[in-house]
A and B are shown apart, each in its own frame.
Chain A
């Protein structure tokens, strides 16, 4: 292995995961593994119509992988896949306990060498426990874990996070655990059997809510998009900004904020110099909310999000832009750092692909190509058959 090679160069990963759980294999693929996605003859549901161009989410979750088709009802593994499996290092699968695919899972486990393979199960509830194998959706997992109770406006229904966060979290944790097992194996250890559950990944993300219950008998509730009068989402000319001035009783950068508003001649800014603004309890009152909103939105209404973010930060105010996907595409920091990497996606043209979550000084970690055409790894074998 050359010094310039990616960390997982030469490793083989068999990836049975569908939908958002394919993110696990994507992460390993970017790190250099050869990831073969095993699909049923019709392709996994994330492909949509096989004859149409592949959905963009499918490209994101499966960039750089190969695709092998296996008819699980059939008898034999197609030849190229069969010999490839002899060198398989990792299996990623999302077969829920008790599902119709369980016999196939058992057959695959018998095919591979347990003392060598790192086998990761990515399930909703885990491989055991009272709810193992129960149906699940992303929002249902957020609900059961406790995380959903912290999200949304207090007088409106709890609001599930956008974008399959439970499934993506499960995928990332499983990739982390897989890398840990591969590290141990590289130092003389054997294989591993990983049991990763989405509901626990979410229960693990409750911030300090479990400890508020345990240590102080307080159950945290959702607070909407403002945690107190001057912390949260505020509208501006072309969108919204996020202002942070207080947490846990401590006020941050208040003087810098007030000075900013005063320097701009903001009507009512002087009110914010009042002593009451040092009182964390008062800042949670409806009166404080109304008072601050009136002054601050008077300032932000005529100003653009990015300008407010940059100018505020330069003045020592802790403020962020509430970015949309479009504004992120033109974000100056992401652009100047070359974060987006063009990838040619069949049917879509060359698109700016999001870059890797991490940068290694010695090697270039990135999406390694579009998602694969269905069965391209086993095409030759199926034509012969």
Chain B
């Protein structure tokens, strides 16, 4: 009986950079053996970017790379060489899942298209994650995640009153919608295979996956309806200035009792207690005036103290934490969200995010750090490809294999 979710599962992981590695991390964090194929000639761009250990970049110092690739095994292979492609194809029969996020056509060029892979492993779950889909008028277009938020609608919808698109400030599509939908699809296909014995070919178009996170807005546009929600909105709600430079508190009156509690806690002017403000609609209509009253008071408070005070009165509130404050936050630490694991190379350790979902009442599988490039080349070649040491040395010397 399996203990971890994916004990015994093996994944051939040809993903890189943002969305793909975050999807395969779900499997590596829960017991699967994830074989990450990497080339030293074209390493994953995140490996060599800042932030880097000690502020010095290198192949095995990238913090963003590390956080996305916990628990995976790195196999350094030059996929540009026929011999390298042959080695990867030799791994296919041993793998349950083959996943990539290359541009359309690249996997075919490596001899790893779906038909080729299925010939080697008939029940394979084969997943690709192209930006705009394998087919369609944009299939040749550059697939950088940075433009995806704009293409998928969230940038336009996130704006101040002036309507100028602002966006979320991060490549949000790479962090939630796409990797999570991707991991879901692979797991669903594996579940179906457990029941039927059949594999599957899955396409997760990053654009199509991302727009589902603005699904209600799309339906409203289809209906020609306005964007106003039908149910009682949170009112008032906003991000209000607190004491000090660039310190803020987010507040939201999510219940009927919250508004009077907020008025009381902040000692708002008597007009705030007018009876018509018991209705959310009236509060929303007068939002600018209410916001002025609130901001005039919040300015006097430290953001953390204010959030704690309002929470104690039943009002939804939180300080706008920066990353350092989030990492020091008592609640997130009590939840075990921040995990320290050894650095990929050298001394010291590094901060990782724990998975945001846990399984209670069962042993928590310990997270493992991300791999150095080619760290497991020799081991995989010996254990899975039955190569002897001499053959491995020859392949390393010829630049077909890499290790660091």
Contact A337 B50 (CB under 8 A): no
Q: How far is the CA of A373 from the CA of B121 in the complex (A)?
A: 45
Taking the complex as formed, is A270 at the interface, i.e. its CB lies under 8 A from any CB of chain B? Answer: no
Contact A357 B209 (CB under 8 A): yes
Tell me which residues across on chain A come within 8 A of B86, comparing CB atoms.
none
CB-CB under 8 A for A328 and B153, given A180-B30, A183-B187, A212-B51: yes
Taking the complex as formed, is B74 at the interface, i.e. its CB lies under 8 A from any CB of chain A? Answer: no
A151 touches which one: B140, B166, B355 (CB < 8 A)? B166
> Please, which residue of chain A has its CB at the minimum distance from the CB of B139?
A333
Taking the complex as formed, is B16 at the interface, i.e. its CB lies under 8 A from any CB of chain A? Answer: no
Contact B177 A140 (CB under 8 A): no
Contact B191 A186 (CB under 8 A): yes
> Please, which residue of chain A has its CB at the minimum distance from the CB of B249?
A143
Tell me which residues across on chain B come within 8 A of A60, comparing CB atoms.
215-216, 218-219
Taking the complex as formed, is A222 at the interface, i.e. its CB lies under 8 A from any CB of chain B? Answer: yes
> Please, which residue of chain B has its CB at the minimum distance from the CB of A168?
B213
Tell me which residues across on chain A come within 8 A of B142, comparing CB atoms.
253, 313, 316, 318
Contact B220 A325 (CB under 8 A): yes
A360 touches which one: B135, B177, B201, B239 (CB < 8 A)? B201
Closest Cβ of chain A to B112, distance in Å, is: 17
Which of B98-106, B227-235, B266-274 forms contacts with chain A? B227-235
Q: How far is the CA of A18 from the CA of B192 in the complex (A)?
A: 28
Tell me which residues across on chain B come within 8 A of A145, comparing CB atoms.
321, 326, 332
Interface size on B, residues (CB 8 A): 148
A318 touches which one: B4, B137, B144, B337 (CB < 8 A)? B144
Question: Which of A210, A241, A336 has the most chain B CB atoms inside 10 A of its CB?
Answer: A210
Q: How far is the CA of A240 from the CA of B162 in the complex (A)?
A: 14
CB-CB under 8 A for A149 and B323, given A172-B180, A211-B67: yes
Taking the complex as formed, is A268 at the interface, i.e. its CB lies under 8 A from any CB of chain B? Answer: no
Contact A329 B221 (CB under 8 A): yes
A319 touches which one: B140, B147, B314 (CB < 8 A)? B147
A153 touches which one: B160, B198, B209, B355 (CB < 8 A)? B160
CB-CB under 8 A for A139 and B64, given A163-B214, A219-B322: no
Taking the complex as formed, is A233 at the interface, i.e. its CB lies under 8 A from any CB of chain B? Answer: yes
Taking the complex as formed, is B398 at the interface, i.e. its CB lies under 8 A from any CB of chain A? Answer: no
Closest Cβ of chain A to B354, distance in Å, is: 8
Contact A214 B217 (CB under 8 A): no
Contact B154 A163 (CB under 8 A): yes
Which of A72-80, A126-134, A377-385 forms contacts with chain B? A126-134
- B309-356 interface (Cβ within 8 A of A): 311, 314-327, 329-332, 334-335, 337-338, 350-351, 353-356
Q: How far is the CA of A218 from the CA of B354 in the complex (A)?
A: 21
B250 touches which one: A143, A150, A212 (CB < 8 A)? A143
A324 touches which one: B153, B176, B222, B353 (CB < 8 A)? B153
Taking the complex as formed, is B357 at the interface, i.e. its CB lies under 8 A from any CB of chain A? Answer: yes
Taking the complex as formed, is B63 at the interface, i.e. its CB lies under 8 A from any CB of chain A? Answer: yes
Taking the complex as formed, is B225 at the interface, i.e. its CB lies under 8 A from any CB of chain A? Answer: yes
Taking the complex as formed, is A29 at the interface, i.e. its CB lies under 8 A from any CB of chain B? Answer: no
Contact A137 B188 (CB under 8 A): no
Closest Cβ of chain B to A356, distance in Å, is: 8
Question: Which of B148, B184, B324 has the most chain A CB atoms inside 10 A of its CB?
Answer: B184
Tell me which residues across on chain A come within 8 A of B351, comparing CB atoms.
210-211, 213-214
Contact B184 A196 (CB under 8 A): no
Taking the complex as formed, is A38 at the interface, i.e. its CB lies under 8 A from any CB of chain B? Answer: no
CB-CB under 8 A for A128 and B334, given A168-B213, A208-B63, A215-B350: yes
> Please, which residue of chain B has its CB at the minimum distance from the CB of A171?
B180
CB-CB under 8 A for A221 and B322, given A176-B180, A329-B221, A362-B200: yes
A322 touches which one: B2, B165, B181 (CB < 8 A)? B165
Taking the complex as formed, is B54 at the interface, i.e. its CB lies under 8 A from any CB of chain A? Answer: yes
Tell me which residues across on chain A come within 8 A of B152, comparing CB atoms.
323, 328
Contact A160 B239 (CB under 8 A): yes
Tell me which residues across on chain B come within 8 A of A241, comparing CB atoms.
150
- B211-269 interface (Cβ within 8 A of A): 211-223, 225, 229-232, 234, 237-241, 248-252, 254-255, 258
CB-CB under 8 A for A214 and B63, given A137-B316, A195-B360, A222-B169: yes
> Please, which residue of chain B has its CB at the minimum distance from the CB of A227?
B146
CB-CB under 8 A for A215 and B53, given A135-B258, A203-B332, A225-B167: yes
Taking the complex as formed, is B164 at the interface, i.e. its CB lies under 8 A from any CB of chain A? Answer: yes
Interface string of A236-248 (1 = CB under 8 A from B): 0001111010011
Contact B315 A146 (CB under 8 A): no
Tell me which residues across on chain A come within 8 A of B190, comparing CB atoms.
183
Question: Which of B249, B258, B325 has the most chain A CB atoms inside 10 A of its CB?
Answer: B325
Taking the complex as formed, is B202 at the interface, i.e. its CB lies under 8 A from any CB of chain A? Answer: yes
Contact B359 A194 (CB under 8 A): yes
Closest Cβ of chain B to A333, distance in Å, is: 4
Contact B324 A172 (CB under 8 A): no
Taking the complex as formed, is A97 at the interface, i.e. its CB lies under 8 A from any CB of chain B? Answer: no
Question: Which of B67, B250, B255 has the most chain A CB atoms inside 10 A of its CB?
Answer: B250
Q: How far is the CA of A13 from the CA of B75 in the complex (A)?
A: 40
Contact B326 A146 (CB under 8 A): yes
Contact B5 A233 (CB under 8 A): no
Q: How far is the CA of A137 from the CA of B314 in the complex (A)?
A: 12
Q: How far is the CA of A286 from the CA of B188 in the complex (A)?
A: 49
Contact B1 A208 (CB under 8 A): no
CB-CB under 8 A for A143 and B320, given A193-B360, A205-B175, A325-B221: yes
Q: How far is the CA of A139 from the CA of B320 in the complex (A)?
A: 9
Taking the complex as formed, is B73 at the interface, i.e. its CB lies under 8 A from any CB of chain A? Answer: no
Tell me which residues across on chain A come within 8 A of B52, comparing CB atoms.
215-216
Contact B318 A140 (CB under 8 A): yes
Interface string of A153-192 (1 = CB under 8 A from B): 1001111111101001100111111011111101111101
A233 touches which one: B4, B150, B330 (CB < 8 A)? B150
Taking the complex as formed, is B21 at the interface, i.e. its CB lies under 8 A from any CB of chain A? Answer: no
- A47-99 interface (Cβ within 8 A of B): 47-49, 52, 55-61
CB-CB under 8 A for A240 and B166, given A180-B187, A334-B208: no
Contact B166 A225 (CB under 8 A): yes
A143 touches which one: B159, B223, B319, B362 (CB < 8 A)? B319
Closest Cβ of chain B to A126, distance in Å, is: 5
Contact A144 B321 (CB under 8 A): yes
Taking the complex as formed, is B194 at the interface, i.e. its CB lies under 8 A from any CB of chain A? Answer: yes
Contact A143 B214 (CB under 8 A): no
Taking the complex as formed, is A27 at the interface, i.e. its CB lies under 8 A from any CB of chain B? Answer: yes
- Show 28 A/B contacts (Cβ-Cβ < 8 Å), sorted by A: A56-B216, A56-B220, A61-B215, A130-B331, A130-B334, A157-B240, A160-B250, A161-B172, A162-B157, A165-B213, A175-B180, A176-B357, A183-B6, A203-B356, A204-B353, A205-B172, A206-B170, A207-B175, A208-B67, A210-B338, A211-B64, A231-B146, A242-B147, A333-B132, A334-B207, A352-B222, A357-B181, A359-B203
Knowing that A131-B311, A159-B158, A318-B144 are A-B contacts, what are 16 other residue pairs whose CB atoms are under 8 Å apart, sorted by A's residue number?
Answer: A57-B219, A136-B316, A137-B250, A152-B169, A157-B239, A158-B248, A161-B168, A172-B184, A173-B357, A210-B351, A213-B327, A214-B51, A220-B322, A241-B150, A337-B136, A357-B204
